[in-house]
Structure 1
């Protein structure tokens, strides 16, 4: 084989330019690496593009009516388009042609099997020895343009796609595709392609040496590398395709026969040939990789393919499939798997239902909350065209949240009236522990913006590609994402409502307010309006710190509109209660007057009093007087008053209820609260718990806690955040009520932890639900309620059971696990909460837990125990952290380290001789999770801080990546820790700290002498990572380390920090960089591309403006392909970028690159009419300039089929009668392309010109 390969190299290196036909033996040896010329009978230029095989342009469909039919009946017509796409080394014709009989089955067989279909083949320059430099995404773009053109001229049916080897399906093509059939497509690459990459590299070196660099056909090692085994590029493409193909019919064929000697192996095995998506049909074929797509006739293999295509077509047509084009900028834009991961990470309340917050928010009564809209501060805030902050303050329970809800509805209604308002709202209630810090607030805001504008996911993807899942641990990274979103035109104007901001964690709250102040002060590219509500103290601290004031509205300043709202609320509620209880008019009048007199502008007080009035069984005027007279004026006294009326025989259960509600990590469903309240050490099964559970839980909660609890739907919470604060403050005060005694964080956590642990240890969960052995499948069936899990004594019954559920053996484990999780959650009401949260509660109280609870917790950490495996599988299935799968089966020391169980970990270390590898792994997880005490304990018992664990990360690199400063300090205290040890992709701890915006860790590492210029595997330094993350404070700190940091360092691609900032459109960071002494703005990368060209190519108009203001910028810089910044701006039609460049470099607007392409040619190719017009109106472009074939810009636009560009060119004076070297005109080209719209456009202009 190698001898033949050398012979091919020798032939290719020949100076002759004529194509060398290859023998069938060589050309078809293995298609993945074939070095072949086009089909002998077809000129090269006619093998590229979307080529119709059937019917021919001059054929009539009736010509085939009398021909013999294949053995498959075809009683109906199939008006579908079938598009065949070849693979690497393939050809539009030869890939599908069987030798030596030259049967092109797409043309000769398929139309008979699917009457009425049209068949196309798509060709692109995929030969290993190809002059083309285009990459796969560019081949795909041309295909998309061709399919789009078919659709636009109404000349396309529903499409079916055949693919061999390469996968390239993006965006709009799915709008007209019913299904896809893959023939030996290596979705996960091929090891043979990896081998081919090596040979191709040797080939290039050989030909360059022997031909003095004059060879015109270098080996396309890049294409081979794209298909190599586990290629990163191919992985990203397949992950995107998996999501896009989810709703299509997909059939994947894979080969079973190896290639003949000397290869003697399978080229694309089943694993690589399948996508693994639920709707995929996988069909094996007794073919080799070469023969899987070539059929001499109606063979069994051909019939399999034809039948599959018929099934796809039949289903699509029977369902009346109407495939509409969708906008990629809409909220329904299809997301890739990686983009979906980004959204899952950003969802701040992943445990909750999506609308969980909504039911518990008080809705304003009609006619209330209107006063705010006429307040002078509000109108100024709303009408001001700049960024603005409006602050609403008020004491607890005065209705701030209700007003925030009203404002949200108001702004949303404005949006509904075609006023472009984008509204993002976050209610910072601390009723649930996870909603307490600035990071969570930012994640919530970003998630809402992306839910409305999915196309903006690119702002998140850019940060995710750098930081991965740890981006959500960095406040500065999240703020960077948020600010980049605010600069996008789609979000302008943006209204951000932050309710109860005082309930956020104080440090992060101050940081968030500082960041908002900076945004308001410095950015001219945004239009953001912040509306903040809080108690008065937060605003006072904020104003005192920054020394300035923002517009402010205080509910406590006797706002007349607010007082009217109180009156309206009281009147409506009393009317409702009086009607319900049929109170006489004098009682109704008394209640209205008495409650209004004592309201003291507090909605909460009113709510509590009215609830008592409504629930009172005694209804005389005297009774109502006692209720109202007994209500103290102050809210704290109100809470004390209602705690005091809890019956003495219910004090204990009231304490339990309060503790459970205080400890809960999310809103509890009534059945969850019921199970947690009921379970005790005597229960052994779920049935035991159910027998002693309350049968009317809502009644029980309301009767015992009264107005202190609020029920909304099936969920329950404390009535207000101020009640939580009161309980925690008074819990251990002497003389407190029994109901509130020991209501503190630790005891509340213990109450909930005991409930969770006892529930998970019930006998019902002794069975491993996630195992795939036969007994597990029977148990799973029992969970469905379809089969008994015991008492199977009859042999026939057992056989029937086995047969009934034997399909479970062949299900995808991931899908099966999800189904098991759903069944567990629906069958056992408390299982979900207990599995997901028991460790966080136990971590707060393990020191005071009883011995039996500690022993039970150890069972849940023992991987040999089915109870442990069950909850871990459930936890993993619901975690957004993909690494949690690695926890299943781990040693108790590792699990205790991950979940922060310090006392449990110490006990395990003392009672068992944990292996060194276990301690190392535990140290890694404790560092990743930020458990400082556990990290120190493991270091003390000999855990290796330099051990390479998951993704080759060390304890220090992973702690630094996730921003755990105290853990980093603990690790650095150990002298064994290598401060420069490389982690994932060779990145150091400093690299992760700088890239993720953890400035305290950065300072700690620099102070301890780390290598500030350390490079990773991509030769990227911490400074470049800091620039990529947009962390200006870190950039400045590193730049000051003049002898330690090279601010002009070039990475593996030759790009500098300036290049990355310019190319990513980070104009604020770029402006910051250009102020640094010694920064070089013109350093070229390995391809000769300047930072200005990068900014232009990515359409970063503002970054271009920043660069052009720099006096040292070289605007005329050319890369190795002789392309300048204008050329790059035109390639993707970046009009705004082009306009900025034309101000400085008009003379370069018509320059040719190495391929003879001008900027106008690039703009036409990309169908960018605005860009084309900007070039022409600059006065520096020759609109009639001809290429080597005599074709003008107008001719190219017509050939591409870009009607908007054709129109612009004609309007700007292009000659519609200009002939090329073959005497061809644009209108003749339009006629051949069957583009009636272009013919009409050209004819109209010809007529106008002749008048």
Structure 2
């Protein structure tokens, strides 16, 4: 067998051994659990035998030659063995965190969810058969007869014991627990069938199915759902660096310290607009960080204010997590898959949930092994940016949890960003590399001069400039004190447009070049020969929620009020290449085309156009107001909403088949018309209001665009059968339409949809549409029903949907403070719904501090369900909310001391300290908080617990054993310094360290 093939087999065995060791470590917490059946313990006690046999086999293969045929036969056996061991580890891992008396129930739940084939003894029987087949059939001669007898006896002993769970009759499951491969054979799995294979060789039936979806499909589906933004395309929108630039940064001591520091690290880079921050970020991702000798996983997200999917911190986290799982697939565990599946669509828009997954999934990695680049933090939406910065502060300052993450963030030098990073700067003074600092500005200017000289040299060669002319151009351009990379790009375009000049003409041209970026923008747009077309194009680009393709842009520009069908529109459309040329002729360098998508050249171009509270805020008073600060966002949205609405009202889209044909502009219009209509506010014309009402009325046309709409995934297919236009308008937040509809005869504000049984008020609360909620709360039914008029308000406010959720519950989950306040003022109930989802718990777990305070002020029960709000806030690490709940009377212990245990598990040192200060029982659950801190390696928390009186010798020195088995040397040293007995429980701490191979601890 070749060295490479042997390496693959040895690597497989090594991986299995690691999983066996990890499973044995987990079992150490379960060893004394009396509620688990004897068969469960017998299965676990067999793990050392499996490990010892595999180590012998590994050593033999490493030293002896094997045939290629033998190699091919070993691999499927080992792969099958690994699958079973992983499932055992997952089962043990699900059970261990539970209280002793709940562990059997937890085992029953997880095993039966996976099928009867997932009883631990069946899995172990398959593992033993795999190991036996490996050593017997493939000549592992160093495995003695005695070892084979032990394997056979272990199988015999397991078979003699009663099952750990009674078989479940209605299991829809196909499994394979012998040796060899599992191959997908196609076809359906019939509910009620249960096929198992326990022999050696190859099994030919389907892989493990969960809800009709295989494991690999579940992971693939999750990775697809995390793809919330085309992050690579958006990165590549920025040009690559010019040779010799970006060195002001890569040679800076702060960057070198960040790059070379062992462990996790944070660096914030600030610089003024046009200084090349995004070009720098692309260079780091594509080249600089990839060239280091130590292998790293490089992840990134480029914030852009242009488009919705690029300004959301939740979208950024989804993309970062996706990149990590793609580069490091071993980090995408089934536990994480399950968290996402159980979280539903909501989890993808929950910052706290996504951040928790990011931290937990990378926590066991080598510190600094994963690098995250966040570019243009200033273009992240304001509220989300504060949440993200607070999380970064917590990660690098207050958290005792070891992180595998190394962050680098770029932004403009805004004061509000600097304020948010003050805590970090105090703790780590070297985390801020200021590109606006005088010495750094000089370095950047020097690099810009390199670019100018290179461009002038190319220009001189192109138009045959003489040496003194080249020198004159260089001196004029480098003398501009306001030069930036962006300015250089723009002025060379101006020079290229004036190539036919004399020597005097050259001097005049260079002297009269724009002296600022804004002046250059003005000159570009002032050359337009069709101002109306240029303005319409720019209104569309400025308003669009995502970049439009050239084809979409051509449709949007061509659509007229007179068009009734796609055929009418087609007569006005320009061919692709011709339209691209017209776009360039009309807008010049002000727009750029990347991968056939249309963008503004730079963020400063957007700022140049859009109206501000202070007109002409850029200070170029001599520039004509025809362009600068002359674009009202409401007007831009009005123009684009009218285009979308007119397009959707084309007769072709009255039937489903036309909508499914993938017409170029249909998807954009269907998804975004309502958002643009909403943003236009009072600018909407009467005829467009009536057209929007037509789109909301029940019809095949409405079903067509509603199926395509994706603003809140998970609801749209269910809404296609809704008959009420009021529910659709409320759900979309279209207050102008709602105001019309509630005045119409026959429209009921208490009507509900068929699927979810939600009222218009509930749907408006889901989206946080304050103006719509206000309209619905103020409206009373007609005088024809006096009784309904009298009882309407309390019924509407507290009307529960099919899941028992009220409008308040939906508003709280979405973090919509204004809507929550409005509902509470109108007597919304704050107590629990039928399925245990109290608004206060949801607010606490999602980190909505202001909403928690609102709910408490209104009388919400702080101790409902045994302090569940406190537990939720603790799990998510929301210190401010934990403090508020305790101040308002929450019990610090709760059931089984769960708040303290959850704070320890999460590594939330400040919350642990606060709970202890407020009376949490440090030795509750037989010292479980200390044991969990020791296992997780939270050294600061272990020290705090010991300082406060935790007993390290409880439960036969489990805390010390957990630290030793997990390889936390500093924690072990601390225990021993504090008097922990290293020989407790028959030397169990030493055994754990030895089994895990932690020589330094031994």
TM-score (norm 1): 0.59
In the TM superposition, what whole-angstrom CA distance separates every residue of 1:946-980 from its partner, at most 9, and x where no partner exists?
222253322111221221111111110112x1111
SS at match of 1:533: strand
SS at match of 1:893: helix
1:480-519 alignment, distance < 5 Å = 480-484=356-360, 487-519=363-395
Partner of 1:718: 600
Partner of 1:1083: 924
SS at match of 1:356: helix
- Are 1:426 and 2:262 counterparts? no
| Aligned counterpart for 1:1009 among listed residues 852, 855, 859 | 859
CA distance in 2, matches of 1:252, 1:889: 32
Partner of 1:1056: 898
The answer to whether the 8 A contact 1:1056-1:1083 is kept is no
CA distance in 1, matches of 2:119, 2:875: 24
| Aligned counterpart for 2:514 among listed residues 632, 635, 638 | 632
CA distance in 2, matches of 1:1060, 1:764: 57
Partner of 1:682: 562
CA distance in 2, matches of 1:394, 1:1104: 38
SS at match of 2:691: helix
- Are 1:449 and 2:449 counterparts? no
SS at match of 2:592: strand
Partner of 1:801: none
- With over 3 angstroms needed to count, the CA separation of the structure-2 counterparts of 1:556 and 1:1145, relative to structure 1, is closer
Instruction: State the shift of 1:438 in Å.
Output: 4.3
Instruction: State the shift of 1:620 in Å.
Output: 5.3
1:144-159 alignment, distance < 5 Å = 145-146=127-128, 149=131, 153=135, 155=137
Partner of 2:996: 1171
Partner of 1:900: 733
CA distance in 2, matches of 1:1136, 1:153: 39
Q: Which is further off, 387-396 or 352-361? A: 387-396
| Aligned counterpart for 1:557 among listed residues 438, 462, 469 | 438
Partner of 1:92: none
Instruction: State the shift of 1:1110 in Å.
Output: 5.2
- Are 1:1022 and 2:869 counterparts? yes
The answer to whether the 8 A contact 2:671-2:709 is kept is yes
Partner of 1:989: 839
CA distance in 1, matches of 2:318, 2:196: 49
- With over 3 angstroms needed to count, the CA separation of the structure-2 counterparts of 1:1133 and 1:436, relative to structure 1, is closer
Query: Quick check: which one's helix share is greater?
Result: 2
SS at match of 1:250: coil
Instruction: State the shift of 1:360 in Å.
Output: 0.9
Instruction: State the shift of 1:504 in Å.
Output: 2.9
| Aligned counterpart for 1:766 among listed residues 637, 651, 654 | 654
- With over 3 angstroms needed to count, the CA separation of the structure-2 counterparts of 1:583 and 1:1111, relative to structure 1, is closer
Partner of 1:885: 717
1:696-711 alignment, distance < 5 Å = 696-711=578-593
SS at match of 1:711: strand
| Aligned counterpart for 2:184 among listed residues 243, 249, 263 | 249
CA distance in 2, matches of 1:498, 1:864: 44
- With over 3 angstroms needed to count, the CA separation of the structure-2 counterparts of 1:484 and 1:1173, relative to structure 1, is closer
In the TM superposition, what whole-angstrom CA distance separates every residue of 1:506-531 from its partner, at most 9, and x where no partner exists?
45434544543454434563476544
Instruction: State the shift of 1:1004 in Å.
Output: 0.8
CA distance in 2, matches of 1:456, 1:871: 38
- Are 1:937 and 2:775 counterparts? yes
CA distance in 1, matches of 2:79, 2:314: 48
SS at match of 2:840: helix
1:123-134 alignment, distance < 5 Å = none
- With over 3 angstroms needed to count, the CA separation of the structure-2 counterparts of 1:466 and 1:660, relative to structure 1, is same
CA distance in 2, matches of 1:764, 1:1110: 74
| Aligned counterpart for 2:285 among listed residues 399, 408, 422 | 408
In the TM superposition, what whole-angstrom CA distance separates every residue of 1:1003-1058 from its partner, at most 9, and x where no partner exists?
1111111111112xxx671111112222222112212223xx222221xxx56223
Partner of 1:661: 541
SS at match of 2:598: strand
In the TM superposition, what whole-angstrom CA distance separates every residue of 1:842-862 from its partner, at most 9, and x where no partner exists?
111254222332233233323
1:854-1003 alignment, distance < 5 Å = 854-865=689-700, 867-875=701-709, 881-890=713-722, 891-911=724-744, 912-914=746-748, 916-918=750-752, 920-941=758-779, 942=792, 944-949=796-801, 951-975=803-827, 977-982=828-833, 985-1003=835-853
- Are 1:1031 and 2:864 counterparts? no
CA distance in 2, matches of 1:945, 1:82: 59
Partner of 1:806: none
Q: Which is further off, 399-408 or 482-491? A: 482-491
Partner of 1:170: none
Instruction: State the shift of 1:1123 in Å.
Output: 11
Instruction: State the shift of 1:399 in Å.
Output: 1.9
Number of residues of Structure 1 aligned to a counterpart in Structure 2: 836
| Aligned counterpart for 1:1149 among listed residues 960, 985, 991 | 985
Q: Which is further off, 744-753 or 1128-1137? A: 1128-1137
- With over 3 angstroms needed to count, the CA separation of the structure-2 counterparts of 1:539 and 1:1132, relative to structure 1, is closer
SS at match of 1:749: helix
- Are 1:359 and 2:236 counterparts? yes
CA distance in 1, matches of 2:684, 2:808: 32
SS at match of 1:918: coil
| Aligned counterpart for 2:553 among listed residues 635, 654, 673 | 673
Instruction: State the shift of 1:749 in Å.
Output: 0.9
The answer to whether the 8 A contact 1:360-1:712 is kept is yes
In the TM superposition, what whole-angstrom CA distance separates every residue of 1:755-799 from its partner, at most 9, and x where no partner exists?
222222222222213xxxxxxxxx7xxx9xxxxxxxxxxxxxxxx
1:84-95 alignment, distance < 5 Å = none
In the TM superposition, what whole-angstrom CA distance separates every residue of 1:9-61 from its partner, at most 9, and x where no partner exists?
xxxxxxxxxxxxxxxxxxxxxxxxxxxxxxxxxxxxxxxx99xxxxxxxxxxx
SS at match of 1:702: helix
The answer to whether the 8 A contact 2:302-2:375 is kept is yes
Greater C-alpha Rg: 1
Partner of 2:572: 692
CA distance in 2, matches of 1:82, 1:959: 51
Instruction: State the shift of 1:892 in Å.
Output: 1.9
- With over 3 angstroms needed to count, the CA separation of the structure-2 counterparts of 1:645 and 1:454, relative to structure 1, is same
The answer to whether the 8 A contact 2:389-2:421 is kept is no
SS at match of 2:880: helix
CA distance in 1, matches of 2:532, 2:513: 24
| Aligned counterpart for 1:372 among listed residues 223, 233, 249 | 249
CA distance in 1, matches of 2:216, 2:522: 54
CA distance in 1, matches of 2:522, 2:78: 76
Partner of 1:1113: 950
- With over 3 angstroms needed to count, the CA separation of the structure-2 counterparts of 1:1009 and 1:218, relative to structure 1, is farther
Gaps of at least 5 residues in structure 1 are 1-48, 51-76, 86-124, 158-215, 255-269, 274-288, 295-308, 317-333, 770-778, 784-819, 1152-1157, 1179-1251
SS at match of 1:951: coil
CA distance in 2, matches of 1:1075, 1:968: 32
| Aligned counterpart for 1:596 among listed residues 464, 478, 492 | 478
Partner of 2:638: 750
In the TM superposition, what whole-angstrom CA distance separates every residue of 1:859-906 from its partner, at most 9, and x where no partner exists?
3323322x2212222235xx6733333222222222212221111122
Instruction: State the shift of 1:353 in Å.
Output: 3.3
In the TM superposition, what whole-angstrom CA distance separates every residue of 1:1055-1100 from its partner, at most 9, and x where no partner exists?
62233444x453536633552332113333xxx894455667x756
TM-score (norm 2): 0.72
Partner of 2:28: none
In the TM superposition, what whole-angstrom CA distance separates every residue of 1:707-740 from its partner, at most 9, and x where no partner exists?
2112223122111111211211379969955566
| Aligned counterpart for 2:888 among listed residues 1011, 1031, 1041 | 1041
Instruction: State the shift of 1:475 in Å.
Output: 4.3
| Aligned counterpart for 2:415 among listed residues 534, 538, 550 | 538
| Aligned counterpart for 1:572 among listed residues 446, 451, 454 | 454
